[in-house]
Amino acid sequence: MIKPYASQRLLPRFVDDAQQRAALAAEAEQLPSVVVSSAAAANAVMLGGGYFTPLSGYMNRADALSVAQSMHTADGLFWPAPVLNLLTDISGLGDAERIALRDPNVAGNPVIAVQTVAAVDTLSDDDVDAVCEGVYKTGDSGHPGVATFRSLGRIAVAGDIEVLNFSYFQQDFPDTFRTAVEIRSAIEASGWQRTVAFQTRNPMHRAHEELCKMAMQAVNADGVVIHMLLGQLKPGDIPAAVRDAAIRKMVELYFQPNTAMITGYGFDMLYAGPREAVLHAIFRQNMGATHFIIGRDHAGVGDYYGAFDAQTIFDDEVPPDTLDIEIFRADHTAYSKILGRVVMMRDAPDHSPEDFVLLSGTKVREMLGNSIAPPPEFSRPEVAQILMDHYRSEAG
């Protein structure tokens, strides 16, 4: 089976032993504590689940700036985006060597992890600008990822963590949330030798469904892991529970049995385009996938990135032999009126735009909001019904 990234084994920071976890929880109640940001809590969830292997905790200022500039930590580990615990106020922590991190996304702010404090640094305005320019390729606060990062605190508390729980994800998405450890185990139990991973933060329409099948056929894969982001998104995105229901219905009706796993992970979207695509590839290698689909404007937003920047970064900026996972490079996928099937547009060079069923996201949302189902060439009717029900409930 494919090895985890930069490690012979997964290194989840979740305390799996129940007795040790209880002891840690008891210790946490005696420690100075702080409510962290949603981004830091999501990082704890990803560290806990093994997705961030080989990292063991939050980065210090030097590592964060080095990663932003060169995609390498100060000691040379290739990594595409800083993993930080940024706080606004540490006055309640004193000079404690261990602190309890409290979850901002769960009522009562329970402790999500205990951190051993290795360093405390303050980021300057120039530091924040450098991270934004390096990771997001822009300092524009109109970019949702930049806006979120600039809203976080400036005090970076670095150090290893021990994770007590996975925030709200296991409770809210018991059938979908899975750690990298669990997905790797499920792939192994299924006997899949070649596994495609598909990332989504949106409902899957007909083109996404067919893209997964195309990729599986192209690489002779045994199955696909549909891996949806369950964390915080930007305003206007479809809620995770609705996406989950729509994807489950699609797989139930339109995939062969035992060829698709529906899973999710607890991370807040960065909208960092190319850098986030590389981070996503590391997640998927750690969970056991051998191939990862990256399409047009993967993890992008607005016009901040070129259509294929998230693919070319693997050629231009990822050192050779750094990752074992293989990238399946997809073009825009749409239904061809001439061929009567979904194709990647690059495979139909004789087509004009009018030969495809193409609908903008704005147009689709408008149709669904008016209880008008998109054409079946664009969206499976059963999926469209779930989305129309959502928009109807939103309208009151």
pLDDT truncated to tens, each residue of the chain (396 aa)?
A: 999 999 999 999 999 999 999 999 999 999 999 999 999 999 999 999 999 999 999 999 999 999 999 999 999 999 999 999 999 999 999 999 999 999 999 999 999 999 999 999 999 999 999 999 999 999 999 999 999 999 999 999 999 999 999 999 999 999 999 999 999 999 999 999 999 999 998 889 999 999 999 999 999 999 999 999 998 877 778 888 999 999 999 999 999 999 999 999 999 999 999 999 999 999 999 999 999 999 999 999 999 999 999 999 999 999 999 999 999 999 999 999 999 999 999 999 999 999 999 988 889 989 998 999 999 999 999 999 999 999 988 876
**Structural domains in the chain (count):** 2
7: left (phi over 0), alpha (psi -120 to 50) or beta: beta
Same structural domain, 22 and 148? yes
Same structural domain, 308 and 240? yes
Strands 155-163 and 86-87: antiparallel
CA dihedral 230, 232, 237, 241 (to 10 degrees): 30
Same structural domain, 260 and 311? yes
CB 253 within 8 A of CB 384: no
Same structural domain, 144 and 261? no
Residue 250 in any domain: the answer is: yes
Same structural domain, 61 and 181? no
Residue 356 in any domain: the answer is: yes
Burial class (CB in 10 A: 0-12, 13-18, 19+), 286: buried
Same structural domain, 166 and 186? no
CATH code of the domain containing 71: 3.10.400.10
CB atoms within 10 A of CB 1: 11
Residue 2 in any domain: the answer is: no
Phi, psi of 314 (to 5 degrees): -70, -25
6: left (phi over 0), alpha (psi -120 to 50) or beta: left
Residue 196 in any domain: the answer is: yes
Q: Please report, as a single letter, which amino acid is at residue 360.
A: S
Strands 326-329 and 333-336: unpaired
Last residue of a domain, one of 170, 192, 214: 170
Residue 281 in any domain: the answer is: yes
Burial class (CB in 10 A: 0-12, 13-18, 19+), 196: buried
Residue 3 in any domain: the answer is: no
CATH code of the domain containing 347: 3.40.50.620
* Catalytically annotated residue among 21, 98, 150, 202: 202
Same structural domain, 102 and 220? no
SS3 86: strand
Last residue of a domain, one of 170, 200, 219: 170
Residue 5 in any domain: the answer is: no
Residue 189 in any domain: the answer is: yes
CA distance 356 to 354: 5
Same structural domain, 166 and 219? no
CB 137 within 8 A of CB 105: no
Q: Please report, as a single letter, which amino acid is at residue 183.
A: I
Same structural domain, 77 and 140? yes
Instruction: Domain of residue 317: give its range.
Output: 175-395
Does the annotation mark 85 as catalytic? no
Last residue of a domain, one of 170, 186, 203: 170
* Positions of E strands within the chain: 33-35, 57-58, 86-87, 98-102, 111-116, 119-122, 155-163, 195-200, 223-229, 260-265, 291-294, 326-329, 333-336, 341-344, 356-357
Each residue's pLDDT tens digit, 310-348: 999 999 999 999 999 999 999 999 999 999 999 999 999
* Catalytically annotated residue among 102, 178, 201, 380: 201
CB 302 within 8 A of CB 272: no
Same structural domain, 86 and 226? no
CB 245 within 8 A of CB 228: no
Same structural domain, 237 and 221? yes
Does the annotation mark 220 as catalytic? no
Same structural domain, 145 and 204? no
Distances (CA, A) of 81 to 11, 135, 155: 19, 6, 17
